[in-house]
Structures are given as structure tokens and as C-alpha cells.
């Protein structure tokens, strides 16, 4: 397994942070996307002339291996949604100053796709690829994410930058293949109650929402229609806007996502 987090920034990272925060002294909203990249994310959402070739067991579920024409996978749809988020943030100058976004994918191991920082034009090419790993070590990935968020908050404090309550946005399909996520329930609950963290958990496909409830204190995990990722990410970008228009420490009531996002 490979779940590591840098606790001491390098000199190069320190210089980069100095430049970033001297150029933009606005309060930040740290948003960490923790996205499932296990092999089951290659599951077919739609396509023409589909034929089942065989079944494979992955992430605790039996999956049909399908062939056909014009196939679109869950990962394809998730990438469309992620690009919607990027374009929405770039379109608003004020939100672009506030949003501090990181993207980490996980399966058996983790990959940092985007380190914490503002959304830039180059992120228009941001794309996630499903791995060949058929494990979903959800709890270990969440633990890493919490460590990364703590590190980012230390960086803010070191540079005198205000920040909003951090967001952890988790999207996963299948079933966790270890029990570590259950051991994090109390820690996440305390963080949420003390307004140190806001967690959004979205189940994709046939995921087990009861398992995901362990990491989703304060709001129940929600099952996403995997053809509605653009609408979901548009709601997330609007929610970032609402928070960024408030003062750090203020409570912000987010509008609910569109109803069809949940019609699976």
C-alpha cells in the first residue's frame, strides 16, 4: 500500500507558497476531491450494441464485462463533471481567488492529480484515469486526505491567510475493501461538530451507502446518477461561490442539488 503525506514542506514548496499568498491575500476555501479510481470506475454507463462478455469480481461486487460501440464509462462521465467544475471556477474572478483545490485518486494506492492551489487555465486539461487496481482502500485514502487538509491549514496560518471550513468531497463506487473507514467515524464526527470540516460523500453505481455513512457525519451519503456528474459538479461550484461570498466563520446554508442528480 502507498498512502503517504508530506508533513514538512520543502524549501521549493515554501517559496511557491510565499509567492501564491503574497499575490492573493483573499481567504481560501480548501476543497479536496478524493475520487475513486479503482478498475470498477471503467463500468459502462451507456453505449450501443452492448454484449456481456463475462463477469469479474472487483471492489466486493460482481461486474459484467461489456463490449459494444460508443461506450461511455463512469470515469468518462466523472471527468466531464470535473471539467465543468474547473470551467465554472475559472469563469468567476472572485471565486477563482477563493477556491483552493486538490484532487487525489485512490484504489489500492493513491495518486495526487492536483496539489492544493488555485484553479488555473492549465487545469482545463485535468483528467483522471481509472487504474487496474481492483481494491478500494477508502478509509486509508480518507486518512491521507485529512492529513493533507491539516497540512494546508498549517500553511495558511504560517502565511497569515484566513480560510473557510475545509471541504472533503468523496466519490466512490463499489464496496470498501478494508475496514479502516469505520475506525474514522468518531474522528470525522468530532471535526464536523466543531465546524473544522465539511464532508460530502457521493456513492456511484452500486455502492453500499450504509458503509459510506461512517465517513459522512452531518449529512447522509448520497447516491449519484452516474450520467449526471456535470449537474453535480455544477452544484459544487455554485456552493463554492456561496461560501466564498460569506465571511470566514459564518454558517452558510447550501441549496440542495437538483433532484435528477439522485434519480438512479
CB half-sphere exposure, 11, CA atoms < 13 A: 0
Q: Please, are residues 22 and 160 in contact by the beta-carbon 8 Å criterion?
A: no
Express each pLDDT in 183-192 by its tens digit: 999 999 999 9
Express each pLDDT in 121-157 by its tens digit: 999 999 999 888 888 899 999 999 999 999 999 999 9
Gap between the Cα atoms of 117 and 256, Å rounded: 27
pLDDT at 141: 96
Q: Where are the alpha helices (DSSP H) in 159-200?
A: 180-183, 185-193
Is residue 159 predicted with pLDDT exceeding 50? yes
pLDDT at 95: 95
Which contiguous run of DSSP H or E holds residue 70? strand 61-73
Compute the Cα dihedral for 115, 119, 120, 123 and give only its sign. Answer: positive
Is residue 92 predicted with pLDDT exceeding 90? yes
Domain ranges of the chain: 27-42+72-249
Q: DSSP E strands: which ranges in 130-242?
A: 167-173, 198-204, 222-224
Residue 186 C-alpha cell reads as: 468518531
pLDDT at 2: 47
If we measure between CA atoms, which residue out of 147, 82, 171, 158 comes closest to residue 119?
A: 82
**CATH of span 27-42+72-249:** 3.40.50.410
Amino acid at each position: 500500500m502507498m498512502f503517504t503525506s508530506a508533513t514538512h514542506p520543502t524549501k521549493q514548496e515554501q517559496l511557491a507558497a510565499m509567492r501564491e499568498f503574497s499575490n492573493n491575500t483573499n481567504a481560501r476555501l480548501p476543497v479536496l476531491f478524493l475520487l475513486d479510481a479503482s478498475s470498477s470506475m471503467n463500468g459502462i454507463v451507456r453505449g450501443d450494441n452492448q454484449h456481456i462478455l463475462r463477469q469479474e469480481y472487483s471492489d466486493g461486487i460482481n461486474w459484467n464485462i461489456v463490449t459494444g460501440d460508443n461506450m461511455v464509462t463512469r470515469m468518462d462521465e466523472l471527468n466531464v463533471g470535473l471539467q465543468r467544475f474547473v470551467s465554472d471556477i475559472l469563469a468567476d474572478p472572485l471565486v477563482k481567488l477563493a477556491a483552493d483545490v486538490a484532487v487525489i485518486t485512490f484504489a489500492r494506492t493513491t495518486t495526487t492529480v492536483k496539489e492544493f492551489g488555485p484553479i488555473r487555465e492549465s487545469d482545463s486539461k485535468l483528467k483522471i484515469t481509472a487504474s487496474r487496481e481492483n481494491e478500494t482502500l477508502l478509509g486509508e485514502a480518507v486518512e491521507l486526505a485529512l492529513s493533507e487538509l491539516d497540512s494546508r491549514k498549517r500553511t495558511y496560518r504560517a502565511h497569515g491567510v484566513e480560510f473557510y471550513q475545509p471541504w472533503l468531497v468523496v466519490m466512490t463506487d463499489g464496496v470498501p475493501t478494508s475496514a479502516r473507514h469505520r475506525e474514522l467515524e468518531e474522528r470525522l464526527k468530532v471535526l464536523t461538530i466543531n465546524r473544522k470540516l465539511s464532508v460530502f460523500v457521493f456513492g456511484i453505481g452500486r455502492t453500499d451507502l450504509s458503509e459510506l455513512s461512517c465517513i459522512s457525519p452531518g449529512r447522509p451519503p448520497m447516491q449519484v446518477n452516474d450520467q449526471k456528474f456535470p449537474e453535480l459538479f455544477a452544484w459544487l461550484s455554485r456552493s463554492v461561490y456561496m461560501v466564498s461570498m460569506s465571511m470566514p466563520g459564518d454558517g452558510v446554508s447550501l441549496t440542495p442539488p437538483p433532484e435528477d442528480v439522485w434519480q438512479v
